[in-house]
Structure 1
Amino acid sequence: MSGKEINKSHVKDDENIEVWEDLVHIKDLVLSLIICSITTLGAYLIAPNEPPKPLIYGLVGAVIGFVISSIAIKPKRTFQYVEEEE
């Protein structure tokens, strides 16, 4: 893998699913989906009813949900850099 190796040996396979060629803990995935859904829908619902504002508020809510999820859920993998032999 181009100079890096992913160590996934400490993660149980029955608690994970594969998303875009990466293992994701099911509990963390559901938690982040709930957080992002609540912040996006909440921001959309508090937006004024003028044409572009609900879209903008919803997008800002999605970004806020992403930031909260990335702070609350820490990555579980470890990287080990390995020198490539030529």
Structure 2
Amino acid sequence: MTKKNPQKDEESMKNIEVWEDLVSIRDLVLSLLINTITTLGCYFLAPNEPPKPLFFGLSGAIIGFIITSFIINPKRKLQEIESEE
């Protein structure tokens, strides 16, 4: 009979698989919310001249990405292993 690791089950309940990688549901929702608010906020603040809403929306997306990169820390730990030649 195999015993299940309760910590692993709790951890898997907090993550979902996106493009063959595990992502925290909380971090994903938070980043989507921040990026949506900044993108739409800048888009609606733009003057109604044809190219400006596009540029304002794109700049809002970049601002949201920068904010998200400071708020959400990466969970992945990289380990370098020296190979023998």
Q: What is the TM-score of this pair, normalised by structure 1?
A: 0.82
Asked if residue 69 in structure 1 is aligned to residue 68 in structure 2, the reply is yes
Taking the aligned partners of 1:21 and 1:84, their CA distance within structure 2 comes to 27
Structure 2 unaligned regions, length at least 5: 1-7
Higher relative contact order (CA 8 A, sep 6+): 1
Partner of residue 41, structure 2: 42
Partner of 1:4: none
Between structures 1 and 2, the one with greater helix share: 2
Letter paired with 2:15: N
Instruction: Name the SS for the 1:18 alignment partner.
Output: strand
> 1:29 corresponds to which residue?
28
Q: Distance in 1 between matches of 2:66 and 2:44?
A: 20
- How far apart are 1:17 and its partner, in Å? 0.8
Q: CA deviation at 1:84?
A: 3.6
CA RMSD of aligned residues (A): 1.7
Consecutive unaligned residues of structure 1, counting only runs of 5 or more, are 1-8
1:84 to 1:14, Cα distance in 2 relative to 1, 3 A: farther
State the partner residue of 2:78. Answer: 79
Q: Are residues 74 and 53 of structure 1, via their aligned partners in 2, closer, same or farther at CA, if it must alter by over 3 Å? A: same
Counterpart AA for 2:11: K
Q: Which amino acid aligns with 1:67?
A: I
